[in-house]
Amino acid sequence: MSTDTASTIRDILGRECPDSRVTSVRPLDKGYTSKQWVADTDDGRLLVKVPQREPDPEHLRRLVANAKVAADHGIPVVRYRRLVEHDPSMDGPLLIQEYEEGDAAGEVWESLDLGQRTALVEDLGDVIGRLHAIRGPHFGPVLGGPVASTLKESVEAEVEALIPGAELSLIGDADALRSAIGAAVAGLDDSANVPALNHGDLWLPNFLVRDGRISCVLDFEHATYADRFRDFGKLDEHIFDAFGEGRAAFLAAYDAACPMPGDWERRIELGNALHALNMHVYFRRWSPQWAPQYAEQAKKWLASRS
């Protein structure tokens, strides 16, 4: 890191957190969507995060609001100090947050034995269950954006927004997709109409671990009020597709924290299908080489509904 950049971060912290005396600044080579610096101060470490992919300050306001809802209900999350909507030296917004000590679960996972992995996913089940026990007033974003009063309205709007960005030749007919998803929603129990706080990006890199326990849940930028089993799409893809022997332990801990309804398997199936459709559209924009695998998943689900 150049001396000029270190000086800039010091100046920002001196202006935004005047009660914290900075003793050192270093870059942090982590994360996929932002540039980050760690500052040692006389009252603890701070992290300065400058988003690269989503520089809209409204996006950061939602992130902070989402994390606050989780924190208010006892979920261990990052504590934010300042949201700067535009900093001239960085030519955009930035966040100042308290630095959370710990190892990313994704970095330690391969070094864990079966018992340690099982203990970690049990902890994961408890944390996510407690997160999903947080009820929302509507389906949709916590802060700002369109909302819906029922799961049916929410899913219909989501599908209509996704279809124009999908390569339907890899998935199937748009009307068939609408019909199959609509029928799946209609077949769910009434409890599916209770919106819950979903994290929206549950995979191992978004959990910090200390002493074998989850100490912090990171990156609430995609959080929303939705059917709680929507979060299982990414969990299954990134954790339990490869660690299927741990899924029962996870589900038991999850059920103890947030009891599962009778139709939980159908809700997970639908959530996984919507996850595949979302990821297909997302990766068509950002990493097109990965989009076809999600299209294939959506295609298989659609075929299973006919």
**Do 125 and 182 fall into the same domain?**
yes
**Do 67 and 123 fall into the same domain?**
no
Q: How far from 85 is each of 81, 90, 202, CA to CA, in Å?
A: 13, 11, 27
- Give the residues across from 87 on adjacent strands: 92
Residues 6+ apart with CB under 8 A from 3: none
What value, to the nearest 5°, has the Cα angle with vertex 222 and ends 221 and 225?
A: 120
Which amino acid, 117? R
**Do 137 and 219 fall into the same domain?**
yes
Q: Last residue of a domain, which of 98, 128, 146?
A: 98
Q: What is the mean pLDDT of the chain?
A: 95
Average pLDDT over residues 56-83: 95
**Do 122 and 239 fall into the same domain?**
yes
CATH number at residue 154: 3.90.1200.10
Q: Please say if the pLDDT value at position 20 is more than 90.
A: yes
Residues of the chain with pLDDT > 70, as a percent, come to 98
* Residue 7 structural domain: 3-98
**Do 123 and 9 fall into the same domain?**
no
Q: Last residue of a domain, which of 98, 123, 151?
A: 98
Q: Please say if the pLDDT value at position 2 is more than 90.
A: no
**Do 298 and 231 fall into the same domain?**
yes
Q: Last residue of a domain, which of 64, 98, 132?
A: 98
**Do 55 and 151 fall into the same domain?**
no
